[in-house]
Structure formats: structure tokens, C-alpha cells
Copies of this chain bind each other. A is one copy, B any other.
Amino acid sequence: MQSPSDPIGEFGLIQRFFKTGANAMQSNSSITLGIGDDCALLRPATGEELAITTDMLVEGRHFLPGANPELLGRKALAVNLSDLAAMGAKPVGFTLALALPKADSAWLEGFSKGLFAMANEHSCSLVGGDTTAGPLNICITAFGNIPTGKAIRRSGAKAGDDIWVSGELGDARLTLAALHHEVSLPELDLKQIEHRMHQPTPRVELGIQLRDIATAALDISDGLLGDLKHILKESQVDAQIFLDQIPKSAILLKQSKAIQNQFAACGGDDYEICFTAPSHQRNIIEKLSNSLHLSLTRIGQTTAMKNAEAKVVLFSDDGNPISDSDTTILLKSFDHFAS
């Protein structure tokens, strides 16, 4: 939040892009004081609490060197808004800490353009930040409002709840595999799905609408099965998941069954919402899907916990449970791709 302990020698340049962008935004009534002091000041409305999340993106780890800065700006904020969505929170503001090897005007222009476009789409204001010289690193902390007690936690699922996911899973992983030449994918197909890796859409409106419907929720960033485990563990339930019911794009469905299952069940970077809800909510959820123009798909259900450790039993296309050893093989294949 200090100004220039650091500044690459060209603090003015950085400030130009971010301060201008921040000031150009519609101010949010929760924000009493924005960028430019030691701290920002936020005042949640009466009866609201503040959801807070932070994500750090590192070059070479979360994005490739030379990645398009505009898309990166969008994505850096989107992954944080996705966490807010998973709690049912409405975005309010964010801080940006940025380490840059050098003050590159073209890069900053693209990055700030993408960042503020995403921010404006969700009325989420830049309220503070820090810039320094260093290996490229983007750390955003985002804040959202939610009526007190309405946050959708990971711990609320009950045995017998339906398990749902939004959108389609696996295309971000398929894009990465194509870029790494792990799979063969026609150029036209890649063009159709690559936005799923570079431009994830935070499901903000879905999260808000789910406040009174879902019993538990999270966003899928590390792969459906791995992330679902967090809900199961926190809620102390097991789960049954039907592999063929996991929603997949027409392009992923052209791949081998093994790759379909691995990428849809275990691929990362989806930023869709996985949530649980009692079965009596099915009609309401289907109506919600229609009103949001967003597919919401039932992929299984939670079950009473059998052992101390939460477990997912997978079912194959023929409706039979997949043995533990075959499940291990499925997950192992994924590890091979991920390594």
C-alpha cells in the first residue's frame, strides 16, 4: 500500500494505468476510501458480512511466459471472483500486488485493460495495491458482500444431497494438453475451447442465486474430484459420481474415453461451481439454469460416510461402480499428464 519502496524506477507509469482505471470505475457504496492512502476503507452494509479471498499467479506456473497480458489481467481477477462466487458473495473490491521484471508500458496497458474490464463487469473496484520490481507475480485479494449467515460453506452438505456442477468440465485441461502436444487437437477445435483456459468466467450470479438453495459449494480450480473431496471432508459425507454424467464439450467428447474422464474429472482450471443441494430443489435449480443461460448438471449424490476418510465412488457408463484399483489407475493417468 506504500507508494514507492520499490518502484522499478518508473512508478509513475504503473500508477498511471492503475490509478486512472480505479478512478474511472463507478464507485461502490461499500467503499468509503479507495486507492491512494495507507489503507482503503470498506463499510459493509448493515446485516452484511465480508467474504475475503486471495490468489497468487506466478509466471511459468499459472501462465506461460509471454502470455497475453490482457487475458492475464482478466484471469487474475476472475479466479478470485470465482472464489467469491463459490461462497455466494457479491464482488465489492480488490487489492492488487504486482511484481514486474521491468516497467513495460505495453504489458501494463494490456494487463490493466483486461483487469479493469473484468472489474467493471462485476462492479468490483480496485481499492489498493503495491508494485515492486521482481519476477512476474500477480497477487489479488478480493472482497465481496454477503448477507450475514448466508455464505455457502463447504461444510453444509447432508447425506442424500444431489451433487451439481455448472458449465462443462475439462476443456481448460484439454487446451493445455493440446498446447503441450500431449493430445492431438485440430486447430479449429482448439480455437473453440481455448478461451476456457485463458478466459474463465467467474459464476458470480450463480453463486448469489444459490445462497438459499445450495447446502455446500466450491469452485473447481484443481479438478472436480480433488476439489469435491474438500466438501466431503468438511461435511463428513461420501459421494457417488457418475462419470458419464459429468458435462463435457462436444470437442472433449471426440477424445478417447480415458482422456474424457481424466480431463473432466481431474483436469484443473475449470472455474465452474460444484455444489450440493437437497433433491427437492431440483425444479428450482433447473429454472435457475434456464434463467442464467448456464447449464447445471446433476452428476451424483452424497452418501453417509462409511469410514473415517471421505470417499468418492465412481460409476462407469454401464452404471457399475469402478473398483478402487481402477479408480487409482484413472487418477494415476491424470498424474502422468499433470507432471
Q: Which residues of A contact B (CB under 8 A)?
A: 1-6, 32-33, 36-44, 46, 49-56, 58-62, 79-80, 83-84, 86-87, 89, 95-99, 127-130, 132-135, 137, 139, 141, 143-144, 146, 148, 151, 153-155, 217-219, 221-222, 226-227, 230, 234, 268-269
A5-B222, A44-B44, A99-B137 are known contacts. Are A154 and B56 too (CB-CB below 8 A)? no
Do A56 and B139 touch (CB < 8 A)?
yes
A94 to B132, CA, bound (A): 20
Do A40 and B61 touch (CB < 8 A)?
no
Do A230 and B3 touch (CB < 8 A)?
yes
Known: A1-B55, A2-B79, A56-B97. 20 other contacts (CB 8 A): A1-B54, A1-B83, A3-B230, A38-B86, A39-B86, A40-B52, A42-B50, A43-B44, A44-B44, A50-B50, A52-B143, A54-B96, A54-B97, A54-B139, A55-B130, A56-B137, A62-B132, A95-B141, A130-B139, A135-B137
> Can you list 13 contacts pairing A with B, beta carbon distance less than 8 Å?
A1-B55, A2-B79, A2-B227, A5-B222, A5-B268, A37-B154, A39-B51, A40-B53, A41-B49, A43-B148, A54-B139, A60-B134, A137-B139
What residues on B are CB-neighbors of A56 within 8 Å? 97-99, 130, 132, 134, 137, 139
A129 to B141, CA, bound (A): 9
A137 to B154, CA, bound (A): 29
What residues on B are CB-neighbors of A130 within 8 Å? 54-56, 139
